[in-house]
DNA sequence: GGATATAGTATTGAAATTGATACTATTGGA
DNA sequence: TCCAATAGTATCAATTTCAATACTATATCC
């Protein structure tokens, strides 16, 4: 590997220390589906599994389950299972996720600025 | 495929229309390296290729080239080649990228809020 | 009775992303 | 004279992500 380690990078470029760690952030909210899931749960409130599935174009059951589980284990959403038949499971954004609202607004404004 | 099309999603959930299209945004700034490249060029100014390489831990030459080209073709950075030997190429954030500053700030605040 | 809806899991396979390695050219310095 | 530095490209391999399919259980509706 012909790359730089994080220690080397910081040693040679101490001015980078004030930048927040993008790779860590990307692990939490990166990927094809996490942002759109969060966006819906943050701005449109609690949703059931199949509601989300129908709201997100192109997502498969498998991927939706995977991503929801990942978001749950990162503390961004909660999962509430009702002991009913047919099954009922609700997903809700945690406070940590709600704190992302500002970022989503900034993104939204940025998008509008170019897209009209 | 057992998924929903975008038309169906919007027909059944018209309230989704005010949310900006995350998949489109992800295409521009998603992926493992684009955010960190933009962060550096936006907040630390113009950089040469090898400067970036040394500032970004773990990135390979191949990937850095790929991502820079993609960012360039999306209008987020400019590439200036100097007719010198050894070669000198400088990368600079465009205004479109500089407009992302607000989003980066929001992200930064969000990160600090939890990480201390 | 049979279809439908729910929220999944498990398995397999395909596709996209990412990484490693070797190679290019030329100049300046030891 | 030989080596390092620059900014790449080309090729192939590995990894990660993503998708398709089939399967589960039970209650309600027609």
If contacts are CB pairs under 8 Å, which of residues 29-68 in chain A contact chain B? Answer: 30, 32, 35-36, 39-40, 43-44, 53-61
pTM over 0.80: yes
The DSSP bridge partners found for residue A77 are A93
pLDDT digits 0-9 by tens, A59-115: 999 999 999 999 999 999 999 999 888 899 999 999 999 999 999 999 999 999 986
B69 touches chain A (CB under 8 A): no
B22 touches chain A (CB under 8 A): yes
The gap between A3 CA and C21 C1' (Å) is 13
Cα distance between residue B53 and residue B47, in whole Å: 10
| Per-residue pLDDT of chain B in tens (116 residues, 90 and over written 9) | 668 888 888 888 889 998 999 989 999 999 889 999 999 999 999 999 999 999 999 999 999 999 999 999 999 999 999 988 889 999 999 999 999 999 999 999 999 998 66
Give chain D positions with protein CB within 7 A. 5-11, 17-22, 25-27
Alpha helices in chain B (DSSP H): 6-12, 22-29, 34-44, 49-55, 61-73, 95-98, 101-115
């Amino acid at each position: 590997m012909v790359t730089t380690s994080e220690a080397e990078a910081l040693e040679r470029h101490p001015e980078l220390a004030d930048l927040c760690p993008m790779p860590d952030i990307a692990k939490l909210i990166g990927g094809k589906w996490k942002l759109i899931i969060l966006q819906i749960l943050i701005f449109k409130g609690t949703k059931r599994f199949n509601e989300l599935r129908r709201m997100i174009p192109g997502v498969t059951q498998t991927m939706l389950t995977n991503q929801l589980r990942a978001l749950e284990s990162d503390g961004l959403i909660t999962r509430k299972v009702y002991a009913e038949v047919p099954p009922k499971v609700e997903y809700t954004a945690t406070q940590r996720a709600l704190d992302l609202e500002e970022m989503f607004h900034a993104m939204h404004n940025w998008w509008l600025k170019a897209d009209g």
